[in-house]
A and B are shown apart, each in its own frame.
Chain A
Amino acid sequence: MTDAYVSGASMIKVDKYYESNAIDLAIAAVSQLEDQLTTKKPDMLFLANAYSESTEEQVLLANKLARTLGYEIPAFRVESGDSSGGSAIYSAYLAVKSGIAKSVLVVGTEKLSDFPTSHLNDIISQNLDEEFSYRSGVVPQAYAAIQMKMYMKEYGVPREYFAEWPYHMHKYASENPFAYLKFPVEKEAILSSQIVSEPLRLFDTAARSDGASAVLITNHEIGKKISETPVKIEGVEMFTSHFDYRQLKAVQGALKPWREFRPDFYEIHDSYSVTAAMILEELGLERGKSLYMLDQIQVNYSGGLKARGYPGGATGVYQVAEGFMQLAGIFKGKRVRDANRGLVISADELGSVAITIGLSR
């Protein structure tokens, strides 16, 4: 089988774009790959987007993007909630590995900024089961809040423990020109921020925003032609499970095949501070202490969902683009030391789907 490579990546700053729709943002990201796309037109397009029916009142987005770019190629929208990005990367990987496509354009785009919080909460709650949870008025934040309480009880950690995550994410994001919340914060500000769902506070949640990112996945031959630094995709794994308050089964499952990989850095899907802690502990950090050990691991130098921002289903494409840029030595924010291997974990809101993507240079 052919090997697959990330041979180009781009992104726009995660932000509020009231003047642009999801297609406009996608084009802004893709246009930065113009030289590469002119050298080799993609054979397929995968568009990652989670919420366009509700946010844009639009479907058939992949076709619309392909037509806008002047392509008459197979074009698919991949929807898997907030793990849409990772799922689209997986789809492109399969297409190149199989030899069906030599070059695939993956674009993630999402608009979450146009709405008041109550409306956006309603949209994000569509991730829950329809019959009981959605109709009862439950919000996903309530699951995360209870997960956090159970974690605090299990490991005997104080509320202050969770401030470590947003503190570090903001510190990293302050160096990333593409980050939405590009400023450091003090722990006192984190701990006194607005209560979302006790004990969860605003800084424990992801910063909902707009964004678009594009990644080119190619075979080796095209990778050499269009990139000085093609990054090999060592593999992609995906695992689906039920939501579980006490463990992230999907993350466990998707990490299993990577035991021998030893990445130098990670980009993980930190929907909530407690999610970040639970993922880090699946990566091997001590349970109940992981957030005190952030200087021992190179994780989310982008700033994560917390501070780079959380553009819904586009997030996973950002993560892979950031991984590529770290390995190619062109990331504009905080650089990883000795970057040879990176692992991306793309997941949905509550971590019942996880996709792991291994990258190496």
Chain B
Amino acid sequence: MRILPPKIWRNKDTHYALSASVCEKCGNVIFPARASCNKCGSFKVKLVKLSGKGTLLSFTKSHQIRTGYEKESPVYFGLIRLDEGIEILAPLVDVDDDPKDGSRVEATIRRLRVDSSNGLIEYGTKFRLIENE
């Protein structure tokens, strides 16, 4: 068994709500959310929900396959600057041709992988292009 329910459960805020933490001392945004600030070391952080909207800074079309993600190959990974100012690398979906740098993108929940042995499905965040904003 590769997909374990407790692991999906404890990541629900990260993957289903894009939760981050914001440092109350220096304002730094930390994603995935943590109980400490990775910039100033303060433990005074609060949880916030990210908007899920951002701008595509760059991307790569990857032919590297990971066990469990075989059906996805090749996959586009995008470097996204979220509107809250942080940069994340995430899979892009519904992209057939190379996207344009500077495109607007938004988070969407999609299937990540399926456990072949007992049928558990793991869902999580990917990003798609926004047509009209």
Interface string of A132-173 (1 = CB under 8 A from B): 110111110111011001100000000000000000000000
Q: Is the CB of B89 within 8 A of A133?
A: yes
Give the interface size class of chain B: 35 or more
In the bound complex, what is the Cα–Cα distance between A323 and B66 (angstroms)? Answer: 35
* Residues of the A chain whose Cβ atoms lie less than 8 Å from the Cβ of B88: 132
Would you give the shortest CB distance from B63 to chain A, in whole angstroms?
6
Q: Is the CB of B63 within 8 A of A118?
A: no
Q: Which candidate, A83-91, A190-198, A212-220, A312-320, is the interface stretch facing chain B?
A: A190-198
In the bound complex, what is the Cα–Cα distance between A119 and B87 (angstroms)? Answer: 27
Q: Is the CB of B14 within 8 A of A131?
A: yes
* Residues of the B chain whose Cβ atoms lie less than 8 Å from the Cβ of A136: 90-91, 112, 124-126
B58 within 8 Å of A (CB atoms) = yes
B79 within 8 Å of A (CB atoms) = yes
In the bound complex, what is the Cα–Cα distance between A143 and B90 (angstroms)? Answer: 10
* Residues of the A chain whose Cβ atoms lie less than 8 Å from the Cβ of B89: 133, 138, 142-143, 146
Q: Is the CB of B64 within 8 A of A141?
A: yes
* Residues of the A chain whose Cβ atoms lie less than 8 Å from the Cβ of B87: 245
B62 within 8 Å of A (CB atoms) = yes
Q: Is the CB of B32 within 8 A of A146?
A: no
B11 within 8 Å of A (CB atoms) = yes
Q: Is the CB of A245 within 8 A of B79?
A: yes
CB under 8 Å from chain A, chain B span 58-88: 58-70, 72, 75, 77, 79, 87-88
In the bound complex, what is the Cα–Cα distance between A198 and B69 (angstroms)? Answer: 18
In the bound complex, what is the Cα–Cα distance between A103 and B78 (angstroms)? Answer: 49
* Residues of the A chain whose Cβ atoms lie less than 8 Å from the Cβ of B124: 135-136
Q: Is the CB of A118 within 8 A of B67?
A: yes
SS of B interface (majority): strand
* Residues of the B chain whose Cβ atoms lie less than 8 Å from the Cβ of A198: 60-62
A274 within 8 Å of B (CB atoms) = no
B53 within 8 Å of A (CB atoms) = no
Q: Is the CB of B65 within 8 A of A117?
A: yes
CB-based nearest A residue for B2: A122
Q: How many of chain A's residues have a CB under 8 angstroms from any CB in B?
A: 31
A242 within 8 Å of B (CB atoms) = yes
Q: Is the CB of A141 within 8 A of B65?
A: no
Q: Is the CB of A196 within 8 A of B32?
A: no
* Residues of the B chain whose Cβ atoms lie less than 8 Å from the Cβ of A125: 66
B15 within 8 Å of A (CB atoms) = yes
Interface string of A78-119 (1 = CB under 8 A from B): 000000000000000000000000000000000000000111
Q: Is the CB of B32 within 8 A of A131?
A: yes
Q: Is the CB of B62 within 8 A of A196?
A: yes
* Residues of the A chain whose Cβ atoms lie less than 8 Å from the Cβ of B70: 118
In the bound complex, what is the Cα–Cα distance between A242 and B64 (angstroms)? Answer: 24
In the bound complex, what is the Cα–Cα distance between A145 and B31 (angstroms)? Answer: 22
Would you give the shortest CB distance from A150 to chain B, in whole angstroms?
6
B38 within 8 Å of A (CB atoms) = yes
Contacts A132-B32, A138-B77, A142-B77: A197 and B64 contacting too (C-beta < 8 A)?
yes
CB-based nearest A residue for B125: A136
Q: Is the CB of A132 within 8 A of B15?
A: yes
Q: Is the CB of B67 within 8 A of A135?
A: no
Would you give the shortest CB distance from B84 to chain A, in whole angstroms?
15
A200 within 8 Å of B (CB atoms) = yes
Q: Is the CB of B62 within 8 A of A139?
A: yes
B122 within 8 Å of A (CB atoms) = yes
A121 within 8 Å of B (CB atoms) = yes
Q: Is the CB of B11 within 8 A of A135?
A: yes
CB-based nearest A residue for B3: A135
Q: Is the CB of B66 within 8 A of A142?
A: no
A57 within 8 Å of B (CB atoms) = no
Q: Can you list 6 pairs linking A and B with CB atoms under 8 Å apart? A: A131-B32, A137-B66, A149-B60, A197-B61, A197-B77, A198-B62
Interface residues of A (CB under 8 A from B): 117-119, 121-122, 125, 129, 131-133, 135-139, 141-143, 145-146, 149-150, 194-200, 242, 245
Ranked 9 nearest A-B pairs via Cβ: A197-B62, A145-B60, A131-B32, A142-B77, A137-B69, A139-B64, A118-B65, A131-B14, A122-B66
19 further contact pairs, Cβ within 8 A, besides A138-B90, A146-B77: A118-B65, A118-B67, A121-B67, A122-B67, A131-B14, A131-B15, A131-B32, A135-B124, A136-B91, A137-B66, A137-B113, A138-B91, A139-B64, A141-B64, A142-B60, A142-B77, A142-B89, A195-B63, A245-B87
